[in-house]
Amino acid sequence: MREGPRSFNRLAQPIKTLAQRFAYLGLVVTAVGLMILGKVDQLLMDSFRANVTDAVAPILSAVSQPVESVSRAVDHVREIGRLQQENARLRENEARLLQWQSAARKLEAENKMLRDLLHFVPGAEPSFITARVIADTGGAFAHSLILNAGARDGVTKGEAAVTGDGLVGRVDSVGAHSARILLITDLNSRIPVLVGPNRTRAIIAGNNSNQPRLIHLPPGETVAPGDRVITSGHGGAFPTGLPIGEVATVNDNGISVQPLVDRSRLEFIRVLDYGLGGIVRAPETDRVSAEDAKAGIGKGARRRQP
């Protein structure tokens, strides 16, 4: 009686071993058989696949719902955390902006009071036209643009060319229907500027690269990267206060300035007329012909006041 289970185990062990050995082979043979059957009878396999999918679909749906709910809950928690961080950042920005607003209002009131005490007379608002850039004649030896507006539109030599970001250059030559703009990066460009909070006087000189240089700083004056560069108004070529760029680097090789305007992305340029009689002004007879003046075409004919 005791040898019965032992005899059964001795008989079952070889069968179990054979089953383990040939299980993988059986699965492979079954898969191959299903593939052959699928090629032979496509409709039967499609029907079988559809029945299996229908049988498994409710199970997959029941399993996916908790997973989807958990995923939505995790996303919701993450979104709440992100909103809290953004809310804290916005509160900090609001407090900072309120401080700046208070300082700006104080400075505005102080500026108005000082203007009243000095009987300050502000300069006239410039007239302007806006023209499209139709050609970029720049290269290794020149940085200039061509506009589709000229003397008949009121453009005159020496006027400032700007965009919403800052100064681009000046009108170098004018035709009847076109004008050439000499960019601030051109080798022939020299502009008096003020640098930094100390309003250090200097000259920004183009060097046919994307970063012009600052030259002729007064002895003992220093500038630092990040200092803003604006026109000084000296020489009568440009008004004061037009933004140009920021000091990029200060080293033994000199002081380079990063312009605010990217010359490779210029599409429209505004030409400003401040009524300045700068050193680059053309003679009055070269600006508008007598016939155009009689016809009302010429300087200011298409100008707009801001």
Query: Highest-confidence range of 13-22, 177-186, 236-245, 293-302, by mean pLDDT?
Result: 177-186
- DSSP label of 304: B
Residue 268 contacts residue 132 (beta carbons within 8 Å): yes
- pLDDT at res. 295: 45
How far is Cα 86 from Cα 84, in angstroms, rounded to an integer?
5
pTM above 0.75, yes or no: no
| pLDDT confidence band for 75 (50 / 70 / 90) | confident
Closest to 237 in 3D by CA, of 170, 175, 291: 170
**Mean pLDDT of all residues in 225-254:** 91
Give residue limits of the domains in the chain. 127-295
Q: CB-based contacts of 187: which residues, under 8 Å, 6+ apart?
A: 141, 142, 143, 206, 207, 208
| pLDDT confidence band for 238 (50 / 70 / 90) | confident
- Scan for tokens 């539109």, then name that residue: 153
Q: Angle formed by the axes of helices 3-40 and 42-118, to 10°?
A: 80
- pLDDT at res. 141: 67
Residue 129 contacts residue 154 (beta carbons within 8 Å): yes
pLDDT in tens, 119-138: 777 666 788 899 999 988 66
Q: CB-based contacts of 100: which residues, under 8 Å, 6+ apart?
A: none
Of 63 and 33, the structure prediction assigns the larger pLDDT to 33
| pLDDT confidence band for 160 (50 / 70 / 90) | very high
**Is pLDDT at 273 greater than 80 in this prediction?**
yes
- pLDDT at res. 54: 75
How far is Cα 9 from Cα 66, in angstroms, rounded to an integer?
45
| pLDDT confidence band for 40 (50 / 70 / 90) | low
- pLDDT at res. 278: 55
How far is Cα 238 from Cα 240, in angstroms, rounded to an integer?
7
Token pair in block for residue 300: 């200011």
**Mean pLDDT of all residues in 272-282:** 66
**Is pLDDT at 4 greater than 80 in this prediction?**
no
Closest to 178 in 3D by CA, of 269, 54, 116, 290: 269
Token pair in block for residue 222: 């220093």
Of 120 and 79, the structure prediction assigns the larger pLDDT to 79
Burial class (CB in 10 A: 0-12, 13-18, 19+), 156: buried
Q: Please, what's the b/e burial string for 117-131 (b: 16 or more CB within 10 A of its CB; e: otherwise)?
A: eeeeeeeeebbbbeb
The Cα-based distances of 38 to 2, 44, 45, 111, 219 in angstroms read 52, 7, 5, 89, 91
Q: How many CB atoms lie within 10 A of CB 183?
A: 26
| pLDDT confidence band for 239 (50 / 70 / 90) | confident
CATH class of domain segment(s) 127-295 = mainly beta
**Mean pLDDT of all residues in 238-255:** 92
Token pair in block for residue 261: 């305007």
Cα end-to-end span (Å), the chain = 115
| pLDDT confidence band for 51 (50 / 70 / 90) | confident
- pLDDT at res. 58: 73
pLDDT in tens, 96-113: 998 898 888 888 888 888
Q: Are strands 200-205 and 190-195 parallel, antiparallel or unpaired?
A: antiparallel
